[in-house]
Amino acid sequence: MKRVIYFSLLMLVTLFTRGEACTTAVISGKYTPDGRPLLWKHRDTGQLKNIIRQFYDGKYAYTGLVNSVDVKGLSIWEGFNSAGFAIMNSASYNLNNDTIRQTGYEGRLMKRALQECATIDDFELLLKNLPKPVRLEANFGVIDAQGGAAYFELGNFTYTKIDANDPAVAPYGYLVRTNYSVTGKMGVGGGYIRYITADNILRMAVKENRLTPKTILQEASRNLTHSLTRTDLNKYSDIPENHTTMVMFQDYIPRKSTSSSLVVQGVKKGEDPAYTTMWTILGSPLTSVTIPVWMGRKVHLPLIVSYDKSIHDAPLCHLALKLKKRCFPYEWGTSSKYYLNINAVINADHTGTIQILMSLEDQIFQEAEQLLEKWRSSRIDEEEMQAFYDRLDKEIPGFYSKYFQL
């Protein structure tokens, strides 16, 4: 009976995964202020409960984003390993022009890559050796500790590597992918509007020399502009609190279906891969905060992003999802996902979810960046790392309780 239930859960996870509508980017270290590559995945899926886990079951230890229901950790949806290799994906819907049934096992392939691969070349060899058809259709973004940064657009029988270090295809040092592939049939798939929104944000960040994890997570993952209609929801910030103001919320980067947003910040060539950092938002970016995560055998991950059996989720994700209900109060019918109470997010009294949470997040970024700067000049202090994690575990629930009564 247990096997039947577990198999059913896995099938549900697969179905949810194929409905993904992610916004992603691969960024060369040549265009970031500190010279380190970045890997961004803003995840949209039917599987809203996510946790962070560490694994030691491969050639390399690795840390990654896992669906809370995936108790065996069979799939990783973005992660990095002890060699400084990192990977994520976005579902593509314009590569396979056949009727071959797909598995939806992109997460299993990424888990295997984290177990086995140290470099982008290792990952390419893995793809070459996969049995064909691979029964997958996705854009896989990867970075490594050697300065590599690329997408692999993978279909049933072929793949194409697109290098973020190649100025001919990435003149600003970054590549964006949503839910289509540039080597597939254009006009098919999804995410064209989100692509342009993300491209506008990243291009401006490059021009102003501020393409950082903080910029991406605060300005892209929480972006309230629509590149097609040119709607800017920030204009509602002059309305006092508690004035419910429902707006159409379709084809923005953040969505009701957003479950997480993560940026892996890699290392410069020659640096210790241990400095690789995964800046992690669990739950809706409109109602959650960023937590930095590093590898460390002697350090347990922050409890706030780890599985809690009493809620079958990570506490941060749980809190974010509860708060999210205030932002999406309309629940009637299938169109409910398209309506946002913008007044709960931003308002004239600065009591919107984003407005309140930014003070906490800015503090977390500042403290984490100070630790990283100190460690890079000497070595990682795991006692300091654990103390920082422990402090977050205490402060974040208290913050949600004080300001949101959760």
Q: Which domains does the chain have, with CATH numbers?
A: 2-404 (3.60.60.10)
357, two tokens: 């949470």
The pLDDT of residue 164 is 98
Q: Distance (Å, rounded) from C-alpha 319 to C-alpha 360?
A: 15
In one-letter notation, the amino acid at residue 378 is S
Residues of the chain with pLDDT under 50: 1-18
In this structure, are residues 163 and 150 in contact, taking their beta carbons and an 8 Å threshold? yes
Q: How many CB atoms lie within 10 A of CB 112?
A: 17
Q: Distance (Å, rounded) from C-alpha 26 to C-alpha 358?
A: 25
272, two tokens: 């210790």
The pLDDT of residue 19 is 58
Question: Which helix H or strand E contains 375, and what residues bound it?
Answer: helix 353-376
Q: How many CB atoms lie within 10 A of CB 381?
A: 13
182, two tokens: 């540039």
**∠ CA(380), CA(386), CA(392), 5° rounding?**
120
Q: Which residue has tokens 């997408």?
A: 151
Cα Rg of the chain (Å, integer):
20
Q: Distance (Å, rounded) from C-alpha 68 to C-alpha 200?
A: 33
